[in-house]
Amino acid sequence: MTTISIVTISFNQAEFLERTILSVLEQDYPSIEYIVVDPGSTDGSRDVIERYRSRISKIILEPDNGAPDGLNHGFAHATGEILGFLNSDDVLMPGAISSAMRYLDEHKDVDVISGHGDLIGPDDRFLRHLYSDRMSATKFIYNGAIIIQPSTFFRRSIFDRTPGFNANNRMNFDGELFLEMALAGAKFSVTNQVWSGYRIHSQSITGNQSSLQKIQAARAEMFKLATGRQPNQGDRVLTYGFRVLRHILNPMGTWERIVRGPSFGRKVD
């Protein structure tokens, strides 16, 4: 049976960590390698990790230079043919891994598969649905494609064709990894399944409007990675066009935003 490796990077999020860990350990797929990385939490997170030590495949307790560097440490220990990563405040939905593995087994030509997700609050309260788009490098750099990271799984073969996570990108390192995969020729696909709960809270990047400027700077660097230049005025026009196209191609996502509000910058209790 094909093994999937899931890596969780944790740092001082004891409030949510147990829910994250259990969402992986309680999956019904029998061949999961679960790796948890904690560079030095002081809020009780390590006690939570210790509570489940016997059920976690590998625990890495060593300093790192931020979340993307920690993920690189985790993936360096992964042995699965399929890979994924789950932040310590997000959760997998029941049956998500079995569904993803079945899809990849039936579609051998697909390198990266994304499902949809639910935006949830600190107390697990449902806020809105989140929809993955079909990814391409061009759509991504013009803000025309978003894929829900905790609902995304990929083959080791395509991960090995990238440099891994960019430790200098603290704001959108998952997006940069998927862009690197696209530039390496990955075939992306989307399935109409809800595979994760993407949590928003006062300390999360998505929930912090002050992060917007840093995210925009990171996106400019990724644009340069893909094109070899900085964006210009014409690119701003194209960005507007691709955003409009995304709303047309993803009407359910547009409807969710109108009816239930945005995800980025959202205030939560």
208-212 long-range contacts, Cβ below 8 Å, gap at least 24? 208/265, 209/264, 209/265, 211/171, 212/264, 212/265
CB distance 211 to 219 below 8 Å: no
Pairing of strands 152-155, 112-120: antiparallel
Pairing of strands 126-130, 112-120: antiparallel
Q: If DSSP codes are grouped into helix, strand and coil, which group holds residue 36? A: strand
Residue 182's pLDDT is 98
- Calculate mean pLDDT across residues 184-201: 96
Distance CA 110, CA 40 (A): 37
Q: Which of 23-27, 182-186, 199-203, 257-261 has the least mean pLDDT? A: 199-203
Where along the chain do its domains lie?
4-260
The conformation of residue 161, written as its DSSP 8-state character, comes to: T
Q: Give the model confidence (pLDDT) of 104-125 as tens digits.
A: 999 999 999 999 999 999 999 9
Q: How confident is the model at residue 269 (pLDDT cuts 50, 70, 90)?
A: low
Residue 41's pLDDT is 96
Q: How buried is 258 (Cβ within 10 angstroms: 0-12 exposed, 13-18 middle, 19+ buried)?
A: exposed
CB distance 215 to 172 below 8 Å: yes
Give the residue, 129 or 215, on which the prediction is more confident: 129
- Calculate mean pLDDT across residues 66-79: 96
Q: Which of 142-151, 181-190, 197-206, 237-246 has the least mean pLDDT? A: 197-206
pLDDT at 216 over 90: no
For domain 4-260, the CATH class is alpha beta
Q: Give the model confidence (pLDDT) of 120-164 as tens digits.
A: 999 999 999 999 999 999 999 999 999 999 999 999 999 999 999
Q: The pTM is what? A: 0.94
Distance CA 77, CA 57 (A): 10
pLDDT at 207 over 50: no
Residue 79's pLDDT is 98
80-89: b or e for each residue (b if 16 or more CB lie within 10 Å)? Answer: bebbbbbbbb
Residue 268's pLDDT is 67
